[in-house]
Amino acid sequence: MSCDGCTVAVAGATNPGIEGLLLGIIPTMPKVILHHTVLSVESGEEFMKPMEDAWHGRLEDPYVIVAEGSIADERIAARTGGYFSAMGSTVMESGDSAPVPTATWIKRLAPGAAATIAIGTCATWGGVPAAEGNPTGSMSLMDYLGRDYRSAFGLPVINIPGCAPQGDNFTETVFAVFLFLQGLGPLPSFDELGRPAWLFTETVHRGCTRAGYYEEGVFAHEYGDKECVVELGCWGPVVNCNIVKRGAINHMGGCMEAGGVCIACTMPGFPDKFSPFFKAPPGGIISTTASRGLGGVIRRLRLLSNRKGNTEVRWDVLDAVPSGWGNVEAPSIPLKAVEFFYNKWQHWGVKAPGRPKGTEERFWGADRPGTSSDYLDNSSAREDVRDGR
């Protein structure tokens, strides 16, 4: 019950890439033999044989199963003699061939697997196929196997959500799990829902390139604006995901980085609890209003500090900026007063930059040829510089 988007994402992983796992060229990693409905070159009975061998305990090596897509309630389809999702077929006593539901294969293979991994939001939480009103009774792998499920190596279901997930999130987690399964590393840290804790602890907002605008109370009015997109329907402040930090593919892109909003596709409540998409979250009204009030003050104070830090000490002394690109306005009297007290506070109890009073070095060029005529004509400023004032 999936769209194969997770497969596409994993095929684009780079750190490590799926090729490294398949070729066995990654240090400490075993060579992985992949059986996949899309990526395998085998078909028919040849494709199904490894699964049959795993079910009957004939495989020589440990195996890991990865579920992509939600698990349909096949009891609903069976009422009318049908099925929702199947893989391979079996011969009935009557001699007829009947498809084997994917749910049946999971029930057969999960108990003997070294690890059982759910990739993508459909497999981890049910996702779109399990949305309100669906006719299939779809559920997540964790819901299907139950709370007490443990793999042959004692692991509960490992969940890597996302619609589609970042491929690197999957391959990195597989890498860490394989180290553990071989006894070469500790069990990776997972949260209470089986997500890799090092990847899904922080919210989207904390790593978002637009978060600074939210803090200063500045929000986008339409798509294409550079500011925070919370008021356009972004759920990033409450969603556990690293999409902006890591990027979508090859560490580039990501929803907010590309100008979109976060629709919470990594969350267990997706999609129902975050619908309708592209509408500002109700709670956002409170937080954005508060952000506008406090952020407006913070933004203006930072502008003052930015203005102070955007001038050389020399320019402050000469009260002029020698830029040919444009006219730089001189600071106003109130701004100078703020800067004076700010500077005193900044260096309170510490030594200010420069040499002790009376031994200050003169600016280079104050009495040498080759300096600008504007500077040389300003004799009073030159005397101030020489005397360290």
Take residue 254 and report the two structure tokens written for it. 């990501």
pLDDT value of position 366? 46
* Residues 283/276/124/195 CA torsion (nearest 10 deg): -30
The predicted-structure confidence for 239-259, as pLDDT tens digits, reads as follows: 999 999 999 888 888 899 889
Low-confidence ranges of the chain (pLDDT < 50): 365-376, 382, 386
The predicted-structure confidence for 115-131, as pLDDT tens digits, reads as follows: 999 999 999 999 999 99
- For domain 202-310, give the CATH superfamily: Cytochrome-c3 hydrogenase, C-terminal domain (4.10.480.10)
Instruction: Express the helix, strand and coil content of the chain in percent, nearest 5 each.
Output: 40, 10, 50
The predicted-structure confidence for 80-124, as pLDDT tens digits, reads as follows: 989 999 999 887 777 788 899 999 999 999 999 999 999 999 999
Residue ranges of E strands in the chain = 64-68, 86-91, 97-101, 115-119, 158-160
Q: Which residue has the tokens 């539901």?
A: 101
Q: What is the rounded distance in angstroms from the CA atom of residue 215 to the CA atom of residue 22?
A: 45
pLDDT value of position 210? 93
pLDDT value of position 13? 92
pLDDT value of position 15? 84
* 8 A C-beta contact, residue 168 and residue 127: no
pLDDT value of position 389? 52
pLDDT value of position 121? 97
Fold of the 5-198 domain: Rossmann fold (3.40.50)
Residue-averaged pLDDT of the chain: 88
pLDDT value of position 174? 94
pLDDT value of position 326? 87
Rounded to the nearest 10 degrees, the angle between the axes of helix 333-346 and helix 282-309 is 90
* Residues 271/273/277/279 CA torsion (nearest 10 deg): 180
pLDDT value of position 252? 86
pLDDT value of position 24? 85
Domain parsing of the chain, residue ranges: 5-198, 202-310, 313-386
Take residue 256 and report the two structure tokens written for it. 């907010």
Q: What is the rounded distance in angstroms from the CA atom of residue 196 to the CA atom of residue 259?
A: 27
Q: What is the rounded distance in angstroms from the CA atom of residue 277 to the CA atom of residue 260?
A: 11
pLDDT value of position 307? 85
Which CA distances in Å does 101 have to 63, 71, 164, 352?
A: 20, 10, 24, 75
Q: What is the rounded distance in angstroms from the CA atom of residue 262 to the CA atom of residue 232?
A: 10
pLDDT value of position 384? 54
